[in-house]
Amino acid sequence: MCSCVRSSGALSPALLPRLLLPQTGLRLVGRGLRTSPRCVTVSGGGGGGDSQLPSLPSQARVVICGGGIVGTSVAYHLAKLGWTDIVLLEQGRLGAGTTRLCAGIVSMAKPISVECQMAKYSINLYQQLEEETGVKTGYVKTGSLCLAQNQDRFISLKRLASRLKVLGISCNIIKPKEVAKLHPLVNIHDLVGALHLPADAVVSSPDVNHALAVAAAGQGVQILERTSVQQVLVEKGNVTAVETDRGSIECEYFVNCAGQWAYELGQASEVKVSVPLHGCEHFYLLTKPLQEPLSPNTPVVIDMDGRIYAKPWQGGLLSGGLEKNPKPIFTEGRNQLEIQNMQEDWDHFEPILSALLRRMPSLESAEIHQLINCPESFTPDMRCLMGETPGVSGYYVLAGMNSSGLAFAGGAGKYLAEWMTYGYPSANVWPLDIKRFGNLQSSRTFLRHRVMEVMPLLYELKVPRWDFQTGRQLRTSPLYDRLDTQGARWMEKHGFERPKYFVPPGKDLLSLDQSKTFYKPDWFDIVGAEVKCCKEAVCVIDMSSFTKFELTSTGDQALELLQYLCSNELDVPVGHIVHTGMLNEKGGYENDCSVVRLSKNSFFIISPTDQQVHCWSWIKKHMPNDPHLHLEDVSWKYTALNLIGPRAMDVLAELSYVSMTPEHFPSMFCKEMSVGYANGIRVMSMTHTGEPGFMLYIPIEYALHVYNEVMSVGQKYGIRNAGYYALRSLRIEKFFAFWGQDLDAFTTPLECGREFRVKFDKDTNFLGREALLQQRQEGVFRRFVMLVLEDHDTELDLWPWWGEPVYRNAQLAGTTTSSAYSYTLERHVCLGYVSPPPGPEGLPTPITTDFINRGDYEVDIAGQHYPAKAKLYPFSSLFTQQKRRKEDMELSNLQGK
Mean pLDDT of 554-566: 97
pLDDT at 269: 85
pLDDT at 4: 37
Q: Which of 33-47, 258-272, 590-604 has the lowest mean pLDDT?
A: 33-47
Q: Are 310 and 358 in contact (CB under 8 A)?
A: no
Q: Is 340 a residue whose pLDDT tops 70?
A: no
Helices (H) and strands (E) in the chain, counts: 21, 43
Mean pLDDT of 51-63: 83
Percentage of the chain lying above the pLDDT 90 cut? 83
| β partners of residue 858 | 807, 867
Confidence of residue 779 (pLDDT cuts 50, 70, 90): very high
Per-position b or e across 597-633, b if 16+ CB within 10 A of its CB? bbeebbbbbbbbbbbbbbbbbbbeeebeeeeebebeb
Residue 723's alpha-carbon distances to 174, 390, 533, 534, in angstroms, are 40, 31, 12, 11
The better pLDDT of the pair 22, 793 is held by 793
Residue 780's alpha-carbon distances to 772, 847, 848, in angstroms, are 10, 6, 8
Q: Is 141 a residue whose pLDDT tops 60?
A: yes
**Residue 756: DSSP 8-state:** G
Question: What is the total residue count of the chain?
Answer: 897
- CA 601, chain centre distance (Å): 36
**Residue 340: DSSP 8-state:** P
Residue 845's alpha-carbon distances to 34, 428, 750, 836, 893, in angstroms, are 54, 21, 15, 6, 51
Closest C-alpha to 319, from 298, 291, 342, 338: 298
Q: Are 548 and 634 in contact (CB under 8 A)?
A: yes
In degrees and rounded to multiples of 5, residue 141 shows phi and psi of -80, 100
Confidence of residue 895 (pLDDT cuts 50, 70, 90): very low
Pairing of strands 172-174, 193-197: antiparallel
Q: Is 59 a residue whose pLDDT tops 90?
A: yes
| β partners of residue 640 | 697
pLDDT at 513: 56
Q: Is 606 a residue whose pLDDT tops 80?
A: yes
Average pLDDT of the chain, as a whole number: 89
**Residue 393: DSSP 8-state:** B
Q: Is 642 a residue whose pLDDT tops 50?
A: yes
Roughly what angle, to the nearest 10 degrees, separates helices 151-166 and 113-133? 60
Q: Is 894 a residue whose pLDDT tops 70?
A: no
In degrees and rounded to multiples of 5, residue 194 shows phi and psi of -160, 165
Residue pLDDT, tens place only, 233-245: 999 999 999 999 9
Closest C-alpha to 397, from 381, 377, 413: 413
Confidence of residue 268 (pLDDT cuts 50, 70, 90): confident
Mean pLDDT of 113-122: 97
Nearest-angstrom CA–CA distance, 522 and 765: 51
- CA 140, chain centre distance (Å): 30
Q: Is 119 a residue whose pLDDT tops 50?
A: yes
Domains in the chain (CATH in brackets) are 59-99+206-277+381-439 (3.50.50.60), 138-204+279-377 (3.30.9.10), 473-504+521-546+636-738 (3.30.1360.120), 547-634+748-766 (3.30.70.1400), 781-896 (2.40.30.110)
Q: Is 270 a residue whose pLDDT tops 90?
A: no
Nearest-angstrom CA–CA distance, 179 and 739: 41
Mean pLDDT of 477-501: 96
Q: Is 291 a residue whose pLDDT tops 70?
A: yes
Amino acid at 427: A
What is the number of other CB atoms lying within 10 angstroms of the CB of residue 445?
A: 9
Nearest-angstrom CA–CA distance, 72 and 205: 12
Q: Are 730 and 534 in contact (CB under 8 A)?
A: yes
Nearest-angstrom CA–CA distance, 282 and 262: 18
The better pLDDT of the pair 798, 330 is held by 798
Residue pLDDT, tens place only, 457-483: 999 998 888 899 999 999 999 999 999
Per-position b or e across 184-219, b if 16+ CB within 10 A of its CB? ebbebeebbbbbbbebbbbbbbbbbbbbbbbbbbee
Mean pLDDT of 221-227: 95
pLDDT at 52: 56
Confidence of residue 5 (pLDDT cuts 50, 70, 90): very low
Q: Is residue 25 left, alpha or beta, with left meaning phi > 0 and alpha meaning psi from -120 to 50?
A: left
pLDDT at 339: 57
136 burial class (0-12, 13-18, 19+ CB within 10 angstroms)?
A: middle
Mean pLDDT of 635-644: 97
Q: Is 507 a residue whose pLDDT tops 90?
A: no
| β partners of residue 683 | 671, 696
